[in-house]
């Protein structure tokens, strides 16, 4: 029995993931749980900073016209996709990480003054170089119809951000996963020292797998399903 793969991340990432799922000979179900929307924000004086820190491509995609006021600042991007989004927005990327935020910070002097453009909901990053944090986008929940929830029953859900954390916190994705009877949820986003914040194991009938490549040493992970 071939089970469908439910892709719950927002666009444009959902479509890209679906292409890879099809290429693997599997059936994707694209049902984003969240929509990324821009937030109102006021650019600060760029003279107060040495560089921009971007930890998500969504910051570059949704920051809007305010980026023009900061175009003189070089960009530190957490990964290649974020770097490409920044360049498409007219920004100049001077460093792009490949192994998470820790590796990127390891190459930066602590005296550097960084302006972090990020999302409304985020994992805190403690580093003396980060002088100011400004949310420029948000991920708002999208309600699924009853038919969509029914189609999710028994699937493997792929999401980017952690639905649950090791300290017991849950996001708005968990009630949807539970009501849809999803069997397994695979997520990423956490890297380096932040891997410890992700929940792994079973909760309320759902098996959670943290699949960031540096957390699984670039090796496949088994996903056991009832009736698989």
Interval 120-177: pLDDT, tens: 988 778 888 999 999 999 988 787 788 887 887 777 888 888 889 999 988 878 887 8
| CA of residue 125 relative to chain centroid, distance | 15
Q: What is the pLDDT of residue 93?
A: 96
pLDDT exceeds 90 at position 181:
no
- Residue 121 — φ and ψ, nearest 5°? -105, 120
Q: Domain residues for 66?
A: 47-139
> What is the rounded CA–CA span in Å between residue 99 and residue 112?
20
> What percent of the chain stands above pLDDT 90?
47
Pick 2 or 70 by higher pLDDT. Answer: 70
- Is 105 part of a structural domain of the chain? yes
Residues whose CB is less than 8 angstroms from the CB of residue 218 and which lie 6 or more positions away in sequence, other chains included: none
Q: What is the pLDDT of residue 99?
A: 66
- Is 217 part of a structural domain of the chain? no
> What is the rounded CA–CA span in Å between residue 34 and residue 139?
6
- Token pair belonging to 224: 């056991």
CATH number of the domain encompassing residue 134:
3.40.50.10090
> What is the rounded CA–CA span in Å between residue 185 and residue 58?
22
pLDDT band at 200 (very low <50, low <70, confident <90, very high): very high
Q: What is the pLDDT of residue 62?
A: 96
- Decide: 12 and 51 in contact? Cβ < 8 Å: no
Domain count, the chain: 1
- Is 213 part of a structural domain of the chain? no
- Is 155 part of a structural domain of the chain? no
pLDDT band at 3 (very low <50, low <70, confident <90, very high): low
> What is the rounded CA–CA span in Å between residue 121 and residue 139?
8
pLDDT exceeds 80 at position 2:
no
Residues 37-55 have pLDDT tens digits of: 999 999 999 999 999 999 9
- Is 116 part of a structural domain of the chain? yes
């Amino acid at each position: 029995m071939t089970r469908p793969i439910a892709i719950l991340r927002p666009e444009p990432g959902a479509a890209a993931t679906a292409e890879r799922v099809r290429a693997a000979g599997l059936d994707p179900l694209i049902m984003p749980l969240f929509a990324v929307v821009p937030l109102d924000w006021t650019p600060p004086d760029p003279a107060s900073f040495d560089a921009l820190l971007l930890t998500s491509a969504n910051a570059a995609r949704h920051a809007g016209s305010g980026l023009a006021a900061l175009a003189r600042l070089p960009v530190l991007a957490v990964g290649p996709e974020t770097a490409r989004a920044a360049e498409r927005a007219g920004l100049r990327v001077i460093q792009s990480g490949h192994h998470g935020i820790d590796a990127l910070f390891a190459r930066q002097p602590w005296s550097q003054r960084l302006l972090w453009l990020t999302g409304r909901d985020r994992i805190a990053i403690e580093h003396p170089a980060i002088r100011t944090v400004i949310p420029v986008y948000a991920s708002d929940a999208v309600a699924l119809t009853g038919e969509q929830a029914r189609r999710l029953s028994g699937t493997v859900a792929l999401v980017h951000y952690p639905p649950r954390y090791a300290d017991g916190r849950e996001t708005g994705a968990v009630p949807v996963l539970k009501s849809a009877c999803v069997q397994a949820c695979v997520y990423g986003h956490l890297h380096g020292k932040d891997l410890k914040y992700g929940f792994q194991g079973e909760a309320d009938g759902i098996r959670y797998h943290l699949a960031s490549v540096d957390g699984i040493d670039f090796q496949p992970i088994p996903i056991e399903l009832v009736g698989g």
